Structure 1
Amino acid sequence: MAKKILLLAGDFVEDYEVMVPFQMLVMAGHRVDAVCPGRKAGDTVKTAVHDFEGDQTYTEKPGHCFALNADFDAIDPAGYDGLVIPGGRAPEYLRLEPKVLEVVRHFAEAEKPIAAICHGAQLLSAARMIEGREISCYPAVAPEVELAGAKYIGPNADYSNAHVDRNFVTAPAWPAHPAWMRAFLELLGTRIET
């Protein structure tokens, strides 16, 4: 059965972490509303491509423009079955928006499936909804996760791992898309034949 999914985006969201989950969830038959505070359906957000090239941290390059298909101001979180929080730069400033944190709290309190990847855990930490949970994220976000009372689950050697703790599906970075989206789809009750 098709589910209605909310995806939180913002300027300089990580390119793969917004586009690939959006496309995968639509391909699986779900309706995905991609929103950004201050933007409306038809507007776009700029993305950034983060890559692992042997430096001490990821590199960042300009990505694409990602089209939003719903109005942030019009959303009612109660009408959604799940939440996707991509990483990149967007969570860094989206966590300053009280309504964004209210949205995250709604999904956490209702125990609806939440998929957060990479820096997306910054929104989980800022919403103060992960105390006592196990959360994966990009290693640079680990201190915030731990300060919010969660146990940090680090990446495996190639960053392809995802972690499930009840309704939370978290992952360290875009190489985890297959495991991360598979686990999120399972929480949504979506059956994918392999």
Structure 2
Amino acid sequence: MAKVLMITGDFVEDYENMVPFQALQAMGHEVDAVCPDKKAGDTIATAIHDFEGDQTYTEKPGHNFALNADFAAIDVTSYDALYIPGGRAPEYLRLNPEVLNHIKHFFNTNKPVAAICHGAQLLTAAGVLENRKCSAYPACQPEVESAGGEYMNIDIDGAVTDGNLVTSPAWPAHPAMLKQFNALLS
């Protein structure tokens, strides 16, 4: 089975972090969840984004999530794939050059990558979306297009695979996204 790196951070979307972390493990994959400046056993705060009929999602406190690996100690070459959750964490994680270099490694080596919702902000900052199809939360469309990607406006429960990249707009797409990502991991 695959060894998957999950780059996450404070105020990641709870479902987009916890559900894939557990689901990929249940499928038999090893998943290391890391956050810059934190180590195994440290926790990150999460937020629950819900769709309640407003013009955008609402945000509520989520669970504390315990990291299981040290960001400073990872060797990205030892991982088979990368998973990037959404929420608010990508907006500041994209300012970390080491995070961006890690993301570039997975694209340079054509290893599977999954990104959901605002995770696309990390892909755009890493400069890896040129001429690629990418779904994301609709508010990320301008960033995807500015980075040279083709924004895929799909149903909220859908996912898109383009080569080694699987993307989806938000947590209702977990079944489709995880199915497509797992196919790349096999």
> TM-score, length-normalised on structure 2?
0.99
Unaligned segments of structure 1, at least 5 residues: 190-194
Separation in structure 2 between the aligned mates of residue 82 and residue 25 of structure 1, nearest angstrom: 11
Partner of 1:176 in structure 2? 173
Separation in structure 1 between the aligned mates of residue 185 and residue 91 of structure 2, nearest angstrom: 27
Separation in structure 2 between the aligned mates of residue 62 and residue 18 of structure 1, nearest angstrom: 14
Separation in structure 2 between the aligned mates of residue 154 and residue 87 of structure 1, nearest angstrom: 17
Alignment-mate amino acid for residue 26 of structure 1: Q
Separation in structure 2 between the aligned mates of residue 146 and residue 125 of structure 1, nearest angstrom: 9
Partner of 1:192 in structure 2? none
- C-alpha displacement of 1:3: 1.0
Alignment-mate amino acid for residue 60 of structure 2: K
Separation in structure 1 between the aligned mates of residue 104 and residue 66 of structure 2, nearest angstrom: 25
Partner of 1:8 in structure 2? 7
> TM-score, length-normalised on structure 1?
0.95
Alignment of 1:146-157 (within 5 A): 146-156=145-155
Partner of 2:82 in structure 1? 83
- State the 4+ residue runs in structure 1 displaced beyond 2 angstroms: none
- Across the two proteins, how many residue pairs are aligned to each other? 186
1:17-59 Cα distance to aligned partner (Å, 9 max, x none): 0000000000001110000000000000000000000000000
Separation in structure 2 between the aligned mates of residue 117 and residue 155 of structure 1, nearest angstrom: 13
Partner of 1:130 in structure 2? 129
Unaligned segments of structure 2, at least 5 residues: none
Alignment-mate amino acid for residue 4 of structure 1: K
Separation in structure 2 between the aligned mates of residue 24 and residue 89 of structure 1, nearest angstrom: 22
Separation in structure 1 between the aligned mates of residue 107 and residue 143 of structure 2, nearest angstrom: 18
1:48-97 Cα distance to aligned partner (Å, 9 max, x none): 00000000000000000011000000111100000000000000000000
